[in-house]
Amino acid sequence: MSKPVSLLFGVHAHQPVGNFPEVLEDAHIRCYKPFLHVVHRYPDFKFAVHFSGWLLDYLFDHHPEDMKLLKAMVKRGQVELFSAGDTEPVLATIPNRDRIGQLETFSKKLNKKLGQRPQGAWLTERVWESTVIPALVDCGISYVIVDDYHFLCAGKTKAELNGYFTTEEDNQRLDLFPISEALRYKLPFSPASDAIAYIESLSEHQAASQRVAAIYFDDIEKFGIWPETYQWVYEKGWLEQFIQGVLASPQIMTSHYRDYHRSEKSRGIIYLPTTSYIEMNEWTLPADLANRYADLVQQSKVSGSYEHNKPFLRGGIWKNFFSRYPESNWMHKRMLSLSQRFASLPVKQQSATMREKLYASQANDAYWHGLFGGLYLPHLRRAVFNNIVELEGMLDLIAPRPTIYIEDTDLDGVEEIYLNNGILQVISKLDGAASICEFDAYKLKHNFGDTLRRQEEHYYHKIKYDMPNLQQSGSGIASAHDRLSFKHQISSADLEGGRAAQALFVESIDDHLVMYQFESKHDHGIKFKADFDGYKINKKIELIENQLLITYTSKSRVEGYLKTEFNLAMPSCDGVGGKYIRDDLVLGGFGQELELMDFTSIFLEDSTLKGRLLLSVSNESRLSSKPFYSVSQSEGGFEKIMQAIKLVLVWPCIPERLTISLTVVELGGVVEVYS
């Protein structure tokens, strides 16, 4: 009889930095708690687990009783812990010094909280670049797990992928385990008996000198949070059936990665290409190319050649998200510049709090988008910017920057001009619009310019053509990758593109965009000038304490309707905490449309922000405001997400002098709502 298959079963648990408490609680109730309670009843079922650092801290603070179960399973040898970057960064996208810092921070945390220092590491989104090897090895990591797809792209066959391989970078060795795609799609979506039978069948490929490994490591959220999985995994007993069947099978032996790694030899040297899992390679492409890629994959499946051609049908790489989404690239390059400033400080001035803020700004979730909201979710982007703005304020106290300077932060070939006074900061791209792309309030730790443009996505064609639900009939349940549902009613207007940035203070006259030239800078502000249809128009942006002041001047009255549009990121979005207030009267919420014909001033109050903006104009105007939505997809279906408030001010002409001010005020008390 052949040796039993070594089942290397691992789960990865993660919640984004800044996620809503109610989401965390729901995830705990439907997934983390029941999973830990079930596996705790089976001490002989060995498995690996990776909880991201921020989530682990949350669970220890809010659910210590369940963490006691995890600690007990570690102590009795049932659980192997895996390391990663503490805030779940994509290691390939942060500086090497931060890779080492993030890995060491988390490994030390695991040793302190759970009594085990990991030998293996989880790679965020299984993004592989060989440049991460030295940092992993320097932190005591001996092996990592990546998809079998990575190995297929390097010329291996599926039959060969039943153990670990060895790679190196700069003469530093790291071993690699290939995660089985077949198991990723079977667990937990196929009946437990089918999954067990598949694992048992792998013993047929057993070599006399090598033990076959069935390698699984995937998101624990598939065991309770994905649609239908809570009922399937716990109420209908899938997880217990699977564990019982595995333990009862003479052909399967659960094992730790560390034990298999110690007892078995490497299957040889390998060098993997830069890649991630298959679905990610589609998501990272622009919509038209993603659709072409999906068509090629579908054609290959229909012809029956897909499995044979899969290694050659590659999409993009993870870093394409930075070139595809300017907002993601902007966050990333702002983070990198702050990392450099922090690293340049004398060690004695590098506080633990600063490092914590830097690492939190590197959390991966807000930088990309695929099946999950990621970049499209304002609260996740806000969490990144909260940390960026707070860290920048802390650095400025120690090593002040010039009040005005110019650089090309995001490497797009267009320079930006920075204006800051220690209270506020505005950043304007010198692209001719003289608009503001970032507007920071340091006390509120908030960027009011944190909005997202609307652009075509690869999944829009599913919405437009109203494809039938892709869930397959038969036994088991459908993966979130294979279903189509709608959380909101979506119209064709909601899908309209337009790659223009949702900036602040973009002017037009009679619907013709006003283009400016940068003219000069002075202590409090920056000046631009425009020649529009023979008229000379000047625009000045100033920061005076807690006030942003925009001033337009011309030598004579300019005929034609002047319109300026600005998009404000308000944390409450269309929730109950955001409202327009004038003369102590609440006029409505940010999720409602508002029209004022005799506008001079209004408060925008946001309880989530714990602050308010006072918008005022020197010359009476017409104000219109409405929510700006984008359409996104998640594992729960297609949804509309409010990204910003789109405000438009209109005057029948340009007077010789016109001012607009935005005053940032901390919320000192609750504004009474009058009926």
Q: Which residues contact 103 (CB under 8 A, 6 or more apart)?
A: 83, 84, 85, 86, 91, 121, 135, 136, 139, 141
pLDDT tens-digit series, residues 599-610:
999 999 999 999
pLDDT tens-digit series, residues 384-430:
999 999 999 999 999 999 999 999 999 999 999 999 999 999 999 99
What's the pLDDT score for residue 611?
A: 95
> What one-character DSSP code corresponds to residue 604?
E
| Average pLDDT of span 115-127 | 97
Q: What is the C-alpha to C-alpha distance for residues 486 and 459, in angstroms, rounded to an integer?
A: 12
Q: What is the C-alpha to C-alpha distance for residues 163 and 144, in angstroms, rounded to an integer?
A: 12
In DSSP terms, 508 is beta-bridged to 513, 563
Across 283-287, 330-334, 497-501, least confident range: 497-501
Question: If one looks up domain 5-276 in CATH, what number appears?
Answer: 3.20.110.20
What's the pLDDT score for residue 674?
A: 26
What's the pLDDT score for residue 208?
A: 58
Q: Locate CATH 3.20.110.20 in the chain.
A: 5-276
Higher pLDDT, 139 or 636: 139
Q: What is the C-alpha to C-alpha distance for residues 382 and 387, in angstroms, rounded to an integer?
A: 9
pTM of the model: 0.93
Q: What is the C-alpha to C-alpha distance for residues 527 and 520, in angstroms, rounded to an integer?
A: 5
The tokens describing 122, both together, are: 């989880």
**How is domain 473-666 classified at the architecture level of CATH?**
Distorted Sandwich (2.70)
Q: What is the C-alpha to C-alpha distance for residues 434 and 430, in angstroms, rounded to an integer?
A: 7
Please say whether the beta carbons of 114 and 128 come within 8 A.
Answer: no
Confidence of residue 488 (pLDDT cuts 50, 70, 90): low
pLDDT tens-digit series, residues 438-481:
999 999 999 999 999 988 888 887 776 654 443 443 455 444 44
Confidence of residue 46 (pLDDT cuts 50, 70, 90): very high
Q: What average pLDDT does the chain have?
A: 92
- Locus of tokens 């509309």: 640
Q: Locate CATH 2.70.98.10 in the chain.
A: 473-666
What's the pLDDT score for residue 203?
A: 85
Q: What is the C-alpha to C-alpha distance for residues 34 and 41, in angstroms, rounded to an integer?
A: 11
What's the pLDDT score for residue 675?
A: 26
- Which residue in 125, 168, 228, 396 is the catalytic one? 125
Query: Does the annotation mark 593 as catalytic?
Result: no
What's the pLDDT score for residue 3?
A: 84
pLDDT tens-digit series, residues 57-95:
999 999 999 999 999 999 999 999 999 999 999 999 999
Alpha helices in 76-206, H assignment, sequence order: 96-114, 133-138, 148-152, 181-186, 192-201
Q: What is the C-alpha to C-alpha distance for residues 471 and 478, in angstroms, rounded to an integer?
A: 5
What's the pLDDT score for residue 477?
A: 42
Query: Does the annotation mark 221 as catalytic?
Result: no
The burial of 69, by beta-carbon neighbours within 10 Å (0-12 exposed, 13-18 middle, 19 or more buried), is given as middle
- Which residue in 57, 138, 169, 219 is the catalytic one? 219
Amino acid at 70: L
> What one-character DSSP code corresponds to residue 436?
B
| Average pLDDT of span 318-337 | 97
Element counts in the chain: helices (H) and strands (E):
20, 27
Which is nearest to 363 in space by CA: 638, 52, 147?
52
- Locus of tokens 């068509």: 295
Query: How big is the CA angle at 97 (ends 94 and 99), to the nearest 5 degrees?
Result: 50
The answer to whether residue 556 scores a pLDDT higher than 90 is no
Q: What percent of the chain has pLDDT over 70?
A: 93
What's the pLDDT score for residue 673?
A: 31
